[in-house]
A and B are shown apart, each in its own frame.
Chain A
Amino acid sequence: MAAALGRGLVSRQALLALAAPVLGLLAWHLATTGRAYSLIPPPWDVAVQWWDLAFGGVWDDLYSATLLDHVLASLGRVYGGFLLAALVAVPLGLLIGRVAVVRDLLDPSLQILRPIPVTAWLPLAMIVFGIGPRSAFFLVFLGAFYPILLNTIFGVRSVEARLFEAAAMLGVSRQATFWKVVLPASLPSIFTGLRLGLGFAWVVIVVGEMTGVQTGLGAIIMEARQLSRTEIVISGMITIGLLGFVSDRLIQALGRRLLRWSPQHG
């Protein structure tokens, strides 16, 4: 009974979630199909192109069956940059949040660098890291860095004073407070930061791959644009959207597992 109800709920949700894309697709179809001079290709052409990109067998050109290579290249940069950002931003955020000296030392500088859009770093990144995948990697790192850092700091700063008192009266030493209270209490915020950071990583990857990179979703989007192969551009966009969506779902599922205790995540 409860299971049936649950399934009903899920399918209702899925139905609602599909409504907007279906309507959008319909509008797109009506606006483009059968018009000789449409600059935007109709959905069906894009679907065929996507299929060829993924599996080949339709056009058999330079792009056929290359999607996996591009996806893997982008995935590597997104997750590599993201993991590196997490590795730096989480400990740094914990330190800034917890140690006044570190906060006074670093916080002002980080706050000045923060408003600079990631894209504005591109020219500098290309000078420092050269034209190529390393710049893309750096931009992804930068894009993921701030959401993780700021949320970690926020998490540490907003641990309830009551919990420190509770730990102290139960006999936790000052040094142990960090592991026993600060870290677990700020995990939900850290997690929110990771989720936002991963989202940004996917946003930034296209910009990062736009110059001087041979493979990657951003790279084929740029290349196809120059060749006016708009079906490929849209195929690449859709692929990024789907990958970003799946990766967000994965990290959310991980959060639900690890943070069962938190009313926001559990």
Chain B
Amino acid sequence: MDDLAPLPALATGTAAPAILDIQGVGKRFAFGTETITALSGATLRIPKGEFVCLIGPSGCGKSTLLRMIAGFESVSEGTLLMAGRHVAGPGPDRGMVFQDYGLFPWLTVRQNIGFGPAARGRPRAEVAATAARFLEMVGLDRFAEAYPHQLSGGMKQRVAIARVLANQAEVVLMDEPFGALDAMTRENLQRELLQIWESTQLTVIFVTHAIEEAILLAGRVVVMSPGPGRIVADERIPLPRPRDPTGVEFNALRRHLAALLGSRH
């Protein structure tokens, strides 16, 4: 129970090729004259189609790891491979959903969703069809011509998810995407996200503070710890979906993960 060594990826379906292969990855930031080690020695193989949650206390390097995968931050040590190739910068194969949405305020909901395909020079008709399809998927047809400042937080986050999906991202990176939303909106979005994930081939890496959210969503929970940031556990969540947060197994997992988190500080 307290064995904190990362588990080998045994139950993963050993043959599945890793879409993300993270080997001994670390990140150092220069901070004035000092050097801050935000993350060190992170090793993680993520097969295509997996839903992985990263949890850990504040400052343990969750965002840093996610931003390195996205290509926003350079890798200080180790190797980071996406579909077998070194990550050298941001790219449309890895879509990011930010906690603060990052929508383009001058574009309508429809234009935001079609932004990626349009920016990459897809034909007009195709962009329109793609935007319409994902507008419908996230249930925002009625707000297609609204601007971001006219939307609620939950609606903005739906747009952010739709725009990444419309861009045919293979890996969706989400950094506490529902952290700023009220409980009811959060539950709805969690359910919708799972539906979308189940109906697609998406690989999702989802950062959260909340143990319960991680157990509810993930097929696998990666536990991180600060000072310096590192991975301390890698747990499968073997429960069938939809999951019942009041169930016995759910609560056993919750205690288990809380112990893993608590034992390190």
Encode B55-66 as 1/0 by CB contact (under 8 A) with A: 000000000000
The segment from A67-75, A85-93, A112-120, A166-174 that touches chain B is A166-174
* Range class of the B interface residue count: 20 to 34
Q: Is the CB of A169 within 8 A of B106?
A: no
How near does chain A come to B125, taking the closest CB pair, in angstroms? 19
How long is the Cα–Cα vector from A5 to B73 in the complex, in angstroms? 54
Tell me if A185 counts as interface (CB < 8 A to partner B). Answer: yes
* Interface set, chain B 12-57, CB cutoff 8 A to A: none
Can you list, as one digit per residue, whether each of B133-157 has a CB less than 8 Å from chain A (1) or not (0)?
Answer: 0000000000000011100000000
State A181–B115 Cα separation when bound (angstroms).
11
Chain A's interface: helix, strand, loop or mixed, by majority? helix
Within 8 A of B (CB), among A141-180: 160, 162-163, 165-172, 176, 180
7 pairs of A and B residues whose beta carbons are closest in the complex: A171-B92, A168-B90, A170-B116, A166-B102, A261-B147, A162-B102, A184-B106
**A169 B107 Cβ-Cβ under 8 A:** no
B-chain residues with CB within 8 Å of residue A261 when the two chains form the complex: 105-108, 147-149
Contacts of B226 in A (CB 8 A): none
B contact residues around A181 at 8 Å (CB): 104
Q: Of residues 162 to 197 in B, which have CB atoms within 8 Å of A's CB atoms?
A: 163-164, 167
* Chain B min CB distance to A256 (Å): 13
Residue A187 lies at the interface, judged by CB distance under 8 Å to chain B: yes
Interface residue count for A (Cβ, 8 Å)?
Answer: 22
Residues of A within 8 A of B116 (CB): 170-171
Residue B119 lies at the interface, judged by CB distance under 8 Å to chain A: yes
Q: Are B119 and A167 in contact (CB under 8 A)?
A: yes
Docked pose: A43 CA to B64 CA in angstroms: 71
Q: Are B147 and A169 in contact (CB under 8 A)?
A: no
Contact of B265 with A by CB under 8 A: no
How many angstroms between the C-alpha atoms of A262 and B147 in the bound complex? 9
Interface SS of chain B: loop
Chain A residues with a Cβ under 8 A of chain B: 160, 162-163, 165-172, 176, 180-181, 184-185, 187, 260-263, 266
Greatest chain B CB density within 10 A among A162, A165, A170, A261 is at A170
Residue from A162, A163, A261 whose CB has the most chain B CB atoms within 10 Å: A261
Please name 9 further chain A to chain B contacts, defined as beta carbons within 8 Å, in addition to the given A170-B116, A261-B107, sorted by A numbering.
A162-B102, A167-B119, A168-B89, A169-B70, A169-B164, A171-B119, A185-B104, A260-B147, A262-B105
* Chain B residues in 8 Å Cβ range of A187: 106
Check if B104 sits within 8 Å of A184, measured CB to CB: yes
0 or 1 for each of B96-130: is its CB under 8 Å from A? (1 = yes):
10101011111110000001100110000000000
Query: Residue on B with the closest CB to A166?
Result: B102
Quick one: which of B72, B89, B106, B108 contacts A185, CB cutoff 8 A? B106
Contact, CB under 8 Å: A263 / B149: yes
B102 touches A262 (CB 8 A): no
Does B94 lie at the interface of the complex (its beta carbon under 8 Å from any beta carbon of A)? yes
A171 with B98: CB separation less than 8 A: no
Q: Write out the residue numbers on chain B whose beta carbons fall within 8 Å of the beta carbon of A184.
A: 104, 106
B71, B94, B98, B106 — most chain A CB neighbours (10 Å): B106
B95 touches A170 (CB 8 A): yes
